[in-house]
A and B are shown apart, each in its own frame.
Chain A
């Protein structure tokens, strides 16, 4: 079955560490997105990519970095510069820029310990 796989499901980070969240899709979608969701809150866009080797900052990109070396993969790195990284992170993809909507992964819950 086609879909988006996010891993790991749970991730714990020590202060000062960088961590990388994985997002892989086999839907042949061109566009991919990273969102952050805090408890009881809506979605805030971190980064998005509409094509391989190109990506744009979203509303809250500070302290995060991404790469898009392959169409299938869009990893997100949470750097030590992100002062409050504890959140639920969602990856999504779309066949184009959203005409048919987005397909979401199941999320990664990141906790700072």
Chain B
């Protein structure tokens, strides 16, 4: 079965430091991977996606993600965190077995401290 895991419920980072939010996946075939962000009481906003090509994907708000096929990971990164980056982050993978829907990770709460 295809799946995606976000091993950390919460990540705490000081403002100005680099941040990483982890995501690992299990799929048959080539993965289509996504990152979304959710601010309190709002819908999810698209950050970036990996379909094919370069392993480093650049997205919105200065975020990027590194696709690593051998480690089946797609970690979200940002070189210098802002307090406004504090939010809930979701990783998703396209399910090739079930009508190609997105399978969602449980989410990681990112807290950036001033």
Contacts and interface: CB of A to CB of B under 8 A. Distances in A.
Contact of A50 (B44, B90, B99, B109): B99
B103 to A, nearest CB: 9
Contact of B100 (A92, A97, A104, A106): A97
A97 B99 CA distance: 7
A106 B42 contact: yes
A85 B104 CA distance: 21
Interface in B35-78: 36, 41-46, 49, 51
Nearest to A40: B109
A98 B102 contact: yes
B46 A103 contact: yes
Interface size class of B (residues with CB under 8 A): 20 to 34
A45 B101 contact: yes
Given A98-B101, A98-B102, A99-B32, A104 B94 contact: no
Interface in A22-64: 33, 40-43, 45, 48, 50, 56
Place the interface of chain A in its size category.
20 to 34
B105 interface: yes
Contact of B49 (A56, A101, A105): A101
A99 B33 CA distance: 10
B42 A107 contact: yes
Contacts of A98: 32, 94, 100-102
A22 to B, nearest CB: 14
Nearest to A35: B104
The interface centre, meaning the residue of B34, B43, B51, B106 with most chain A CB atoms within 10 A of its CB, is B43
Nearest to B100: A97
A109 B100 CA distance: 28
Interface of B: 32, 34, 36, 41-46, 49, 51, 90, 92, 94, 99-102, 104-107, 109
